[in-house]
Structure 1
């Protein structure tokens, strides 16, 4: 069984890190933790990766990311104003 790739993202007026690198074909999760009530970052969504989650303040929220296809996939806040990306490498 393959080890799951895990990435922690701090949401504080933006995403840190803003660019996430994952290996193709290896299970992956991203945990978003919103630490500031500034801006429109109370939600994270990705049409490319098929997720949309509310981000309660100071509560880690984990999404599972499909890594079957290599490429660059975007994610953003609920208002599509703040962006990040997931790069899935072969």
Structure 2
């Protein structure tokens, strides 16, 4: 599988999870479960490249990193603004 094919598969996995009404952000391990024949390192590198291209975004709670489609669900800025106003 080429890097471009892998990136398309990652996008497809995330989009399917969002469409099913599940979470808008996905753990790296969730992506790895869906693509068992691909090395975790290759998945991580491809996902990071998708972030640099603007096709995915990071969401970090500090202890873990999730990947999501930009504009879907709560973004990092919104989540932290919400926390600040609740205090």
TM-score by length of 2: 0.26
User: Whose strand fraction is larger, Structure 1's or Structure 2's?
Assistant: 1
User: Whose helix fraction is larger, Structure 1's or Structure 2's?
Assistant: 2
Q: Which has the higher contact order (CA 8 A, sep 6+)?
A: 1
Q: Which has the larger radius of gyration?
A: 2
TM-score by length of 1: 0.26
